[in-house]
Structure 1
């Protein structure tokens, strides 16, 4: 009648009874006290798990990669499971999570603090050609159920004189890096994206989500050439293409800020993409 197993009810009665009588007020107070006590992190209580996570971080693996690898390496050991969010929490709050600061600094982004999210600004029409916003994107794209939908952006080189276009497929996280030998004008980016996307079969050319950078002024020509709809994020909202944003952070391990990106050819970019 109360939606709990008989064994659960029996255990509760035994724990909070005296003289054969159940003491509900004492039971409630005990439950409140238990909720108030902070739960010990899994990475504090499980030394073996903690050491595996530390080893992964020191190998420059991301928390997501570590979490997936644990399932592969320990398929029958449920104690060797930890979510990537728990690892991030341990890194950002070392005292609670049990990971030392020097290990946190091995995180591939190089940050031990999370970037705050800004509230999106007011919408406006950025380009002359009609734009579709991310709020117009169908649920079939949002839920990542079907491959072929991409997020993209540029990572910039020294003095913003060079760039690489990055493309990440939302369902599989497969990454393509686009060589831009002629700069990052709207025309150069449009042509580079078209050339790269047209190497893919039609069923993997579904849509592209990008921010409202000036490099996408040629989005309509891109859509016509590739038969891919482009969706634009709200201003100052990089988390709306979070898969790509995370990948760009990881790419800085290979292309540090201040680097002249024009020195890297297509073969170099292909090699790096295969490392992710």
Structure 2
């Protein structure tokens, strides 16, 4: 474990908001007391040296997982690059959220991915009750207040704080494009410095989202970055799940048809990997800001990047 250099956080923000390449990787903490096995798997892949930050999930789909805050701290100190901590409004009220963010500040956990959070009915903890005191917009307002050394009620806080940097997520597809554009605009207006999309499988959609973000930045005099979500598809079953079960994701018909044929021929992995590589090449021609997702299978991302 190495001592984390806090200046890397500001360097990451500068890189994110410039035209430079920027890669992040999703670490999905399991329901485990130990994360070392997953850390060791990551250390075996050289592409980790190309990463600029991790994003640690916060009990996605309402399922019990290792604490996102503590997993982020372990990642940051183990790999020496910034960790973006996902925080969902689902589980904490404004009192707990403010307390947590104040404590995280002193540990240099200052990159926050603000989510409203998946409903608990999707998860495995039927006794749990959702808080949902507000949406991710409220969390952005809390962060803005803390950056002024104030609580959400305007009361002054003691001590010196370091800047907290808020990010948001956005669906990559919606039947109602006006609604999706409005959500992007609201997130940027509320202070999001970057927007990470759900996985994108269509170049046309990526181009449109980039254009929207650019137009909103010009209108609002902001510098919000758009980061493409990238999840390689290696099976027909995964393609169907993403297309039908994951809100805000669109898998094109040609992908579904090709993977269905490949399934019957026993070549799903090869076909999925090839199409994912072609997609990555096409998206990279637009910009090189990516958030890689692989359900804790780093070997898949290694094959995409071939590092």
Q: Same fold (TM over 0.5)?
A: no
Name the TM tier (shorter chain): under 0.3
TM score, norm. by length of structure 1: 0.26
TM score, norm. by length of structure 2: 0.24
Question: Per chain length, whose mean CA-contact separation is higher, i.e. which structure has more relative contact order (CA < 8 Å, sep 6+)?
Answer: 2
